């Protein structure tokens, strides 16, 4: 059995974890998961909100006039779902980063 020895270059400089995070851009997995998860959740929320709004119909507002609750439901469903999806997906991405890099 042979033994291998790690040979570092003469210009080697020891860096700590915080410096390495700065160098390797730590956090990109979490941000990517957040964007994708939030978008997917927003689409699902918009569909669910539109379906719920469509069953109710329309509402008449004093200044604006008649507003379709399908649109209101889609927008509010997308906004709420994006927030929840982005936060939970970011958390999941951070767990993966911690599992990979500590």
Reported confidence tier of residue 18, pLDDT bands at 50, 70, 90: low
Decide if 57 is inside a domain: yes
Q: What are phi and psi of 75, to 5 degrees?
A: -65, -50
Cα(67)–Cα(49) distance, integer angstroms: 15
Question: pLDDT higher for 18 or 80?
Answer: 80
Residue-number span of the structural domain to which 40 is assigned:
28-101
Decide if 74 is inside a domain: yes
pLDDT at 41: 92
Q: Where are the beta strands (DSSP E) in 11-64?
A: 58-61
pTM of the model: 0.61
Cα(75)–Cα(53) distance, integer angstroms: 10
Decide if 17 is inside a domain: no
CA atoms within 13 A on the CB side of 62: 0
pLDDT tens figures, 40-95: 999 999 999 999 988 888 888 888 888 888 988 999 999 999 988 998 888 888 88
Decide if 55 is inside a domain: yes
Count of the separate structural domains present in the chain: 1
Res 35 pLDDT > 60: yes
């Amino acid at each position: 059995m042979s033994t291998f020895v790690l040979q570092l270059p003469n210009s080697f400089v020891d860096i700590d974890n915080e410096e390495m995070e700065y160098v390797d851009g730590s956090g990109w997995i979490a941000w990517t998961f957040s964007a994708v998860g939030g978008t997917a959740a927003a689409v699902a929320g918009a569909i669910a909100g539109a379906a719920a709004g469509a069953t109710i119909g329309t509402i008449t507002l004093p200044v604006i006039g008649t507003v379709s609750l399908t649109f209101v439901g889609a927008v509010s469903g997308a906004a709420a779902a994006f927030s929840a999806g982005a936060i939970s997906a970011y958390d999941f991405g951070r767990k993966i980063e911690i599992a990979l890099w500590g």
